[in-house]
Amino acid sequence: MSERFDSEKSKIKRLLLDCCVDITVWGIGDAKTLDQLVKEVIDGESRLLRSENGELTRSVEVVQGVITYVDENGETFQLVEEKQVFGDGRVRVRNRLIDISVAEKMKPDEDPREALIRGLKEELEITEGAQIADNPEVDSKDEDSLSYPGLRSQYQIYTFVVELDESAYKPEGYAEVQDDKTNYFVWKKIN
């Protein structure tokens, strides 16, 4: 780890403990680790905000894509994230995201459409053959974080509809390998 990472980790850990967030349950079951939160903050994907009353909130802007493919018989399939397999062997089944194909945390000052294009490339290795609808649905959500138990999260969410053509379609699905986990995406028939 770098000196900057260690310094940021120390500050974030102190802030979490000051705000009575129990990080001892992080990295267990579906929960992510403190290191993963630190990386999100350093990368600008998450911000930690403390209210006047001392409550700590994680603020995240997210772009989502609902990805479909229509085959030669007119049958429609939707891509869904099936699971995440962490480097330590834990498996996180993603049945909560059944309506969403890909989701990507936005970088600071990133346009939602550009973030989706980046997500398609990073998560699915799709660089062409994707028709992205012009106007995303915009929503916000405030909830307890599943990834970081005990830490409230506020989300600004941009959802695009994406249709793949044959050049981008992989019937076997897709896998995104990251440093700390692998995400698996599969096709589900929807009609």
pLDDT value at residue 96:
56
pLDDT value at residue 135:
92
Q: Residue 100 and residue 32: Cα distance in Å, rounded?
A: 20
pLDDT under 50 in the chain at which residues? none
> What is the token pair recorded at 90?
């834990």
What's the CATH code of the domain at 39? 3.90.79.10
pLDDT value at residue 154:
96
- Give the E-state strand segments of the chain in sequence order: 46-50, 56-70, 76-86, 91-93, 102-105, 130-132, 137-144, 152-164, 174-177, 181-189
pLDDT value at residue 92:
83
Domain span including residue 12: 3-189
pLDDT value at residue 93:
85
Instruction: Please count the structural domains in the chain.
Output: 1
Q: Residue 55 and residue 125: Cα distance in Å, rounded?
A: 39
pLDDT value at residue 152:
95
Contacts of 182 (CB under 8 A, 6+ apart): 84, 85, 175, 176
pLDDT value at residue 1:
63
pLDDT value at residue 95:
67
User: Does residue 149 contact residue 31 with C-beta atoms inside 8 Å?
Assistant: yes
Three-state DSSP at 95 gives helix
Q: Residue 189 and residue 18: Cα distance in Å, rounded?
A: 48
Cβ-based neighbour number of residue 130 at 10 Å: 20
Q: Residue 40 and residue 112: Cα distance in Å, rounded?
A: 18
